Amino acid sequence: MTSYTAPTRDMQFAMDALGLLPALAALPDYVDATPDLRDAMLEEAGKLAGDLLAPINFSGDQQGAVLENGVVRTADGFKEAYAAYVEGGWNSLAFDPEFGGQGLPWLLGFATAEMWVSANNSWGLCPMLTSGAVELLSAHGTPEQKALYLEKLISGEWNGTMNLTEPQAGSDVGALRCRAEKEGDHYRIRGQKIFITWGEHDMTDNIVHMVLARTPGAPEGTRGISLFIVPKFLVNSDGSLGDRNDVRCVSLEEKLGIHACPTCTMSFGDDDGAIGYLVGEENRGLNCMFTMMNNARLGIGLTGLSIAERAYQQARDFAKERVQGSAENPVTIINHPDVRRMLLTMKSTVEAMRGLIYDVVSSLDVARAHPEAEARREARIRADLLTPVVKAWCTDMGVEVASIGVQVHGGMGYMEETGAVQHWRDSRIAPIYEGTNGIQAIDLVIRKVLRDQGDAVATYAAEIRAVLTALDSESDEISASLHTHLGAALAVLETATQWLVTDAADAPDQALSGATPYLRLFGLTAGGAIMARGALAAGKALTDGGDDVEFLTSKRRTAHFYAENILSQATALLAPVRNSHDPIIAFPEDQF
């Protein structure tokens, strides 16, 4: 397996070319988010990722996490790497200074998180969940709960988990059976949760579980769900650790990938009942949990990018070294046109994903920190619209890019020793995590498009039209190609959106039959807009005498490839969006 080098130059370009960091630094809360600070942070984070996390990625996959007498032992080096991460203050970047955070934008937090997951996906999932727990408690916790938990969660000394899924429920959260009975100032929690990522381990002194459960007499379905803090160790009023709570990991799942990440079956209340503390109001737990889930959905979208970046680096390096050809003319395989096509598919998709994720995360920063209420509202709507696109499109692309990485390696890619197949195995869970990608497509169509009659999409489309106008003012071949294919993709996206609003609004089966191709259409188009913006910025920098000519030229060439080879596929998705219903619904069940 090749080493990992953080793509700091690409990260800087995405932030600057899209105008993200300059816009955030202009806000009063983010005046410290200067390019110099950003560059220093990325350099140091890259060292931690490359020197500590990447070397234990393959070994961690081979060793895995182990459950011994109720204790989960993590793979060699994981605990030490986590201690270095906490000591460096990396967990606290984007959080409230009142509780020990550094108050920096999510944009910078996500950029460093990209490095952690690229270097070591199994390890990187642990702090990702903690970030969601912090967001949840910051939004919905009582002052006492914030005082008791936030400082240690923000520092990373403790970590957080999300406990939703139960054996009989799967994605149907409303079918959960975990019970919560009030007892004084707390509740007794009894039940079982499955698929709990980092539900038990030895890297932190305490684990703060966020648990969905149902109180006696609660309404059926999602309307009767409450949310509880259930710590592994109870916390005394002075913040010190008390008795062990009645919560245990009873088994670890055997999985396709992320072997070093303990995926736990958690049992609550086998003895006296696990002590839990209500967050928010009874029967409003799912509303609170969505704060954590939306944070996690963006984080999981980031894993699609991160794994794709790692797979691309490995495939690129292999292609530059692997010699194949006739005895008279042996060449490295990067000289073969089809290998170059695969590598450019990987590279351009990675750059489109990175730009899209950073763009959406920056909208969250604006929604959190802009001094004007209307600007905050508009930014929130934009982030809400694009969150399912980030989660689903980026994780789908992560799987595809990792699979291409295996293909570039040929037969050696299928061998575990190269590490290429680990990236594909690790990537495959992401389209299932935090609401399957089919659920993300449903969310996009029903809650984000039909609910406001397509208004948010129209606003986003206006942004893309401004990009098209800028492209139209250029006279070069690359700008013309981007204008042609982005314009065609946008026209199809608008046509598909209008069809959903007018023809499918009262026919949910029709809308949902084409929801997944609609989301892919959206992702391809949004990625195209990102690549076009980057190409325009690179072109301007070249005209202005930018000194990194090779790098800037490569950005334009990569955007050109994306336009001709990837964005051009968008127009074919109109038919499955509009015409999927009849062949899907009319197909008899007994003929499957």
Residues that are catalytic = 434
Provide the 8-state DSSP code for 279.
E
HSE-up of residue 480 (Cα within 13 Å, Cβ side): 3
Three-state secondary structure along 156-222? CCEEEEEECCCCCCCCCHHHCCCEEEEECCEEEEEEEEEEEECCCCCCCCEEEEEEEEECCCCCCHH
Which structure tokens are listed for 581? 């219903």
Instruction: Report residue 277 CA to chain centroid gap.
Output: 28
From 347, 328, 329, select the one nearest 408 (Cα to Cα).
347
Which structure tokens are listed for 312? 């691309």
Which structure tokens are listed for 451? 């609910």
Cβ pair 151, 134 in contact under 8 A: no
- Return d(Cα 14, Cα 305) in angstroms, integer: 13
Kindly provide the b/e burial profile for residues 91-123, where b requires at least 16 CB atoms within 10 angstroms of the residue's own CB. Answer: bbbbbeeebbbbbbbbbbbbbbbbbbbbbbbbb
What does 43-70 look like in DSSP terms, one character per residue? HHHHHHIIIIIGGGHHHHHHH--EEETT
How does strand 233-235 pair with strand 241-244?
A: antiparallel
Which structure tokens are listed for 190? 């009894």
- Return d(Cα 364, Cα 358) in angstroms, integer: 10
What does 213-277 look like in DSSP terms, one character per residue? EB-TTPPSGGGG-EEEEEESEEE-TTS-EEEEPSEEEEEE---SS-TTS-EEEEEE-SSS-EEEE
Instruction: Report residue 96 CA to chain centroid gap.
Output: 22
- Return d(Cα 7, Cα 5) in angstroms, integer: 6
Cβ pair 331, 324 in contact under 8 A: yes
Which structure tokens are listed for 142? 């009582």
- Return d(Cα 405, Cα 426) in angstroms, integer: 13
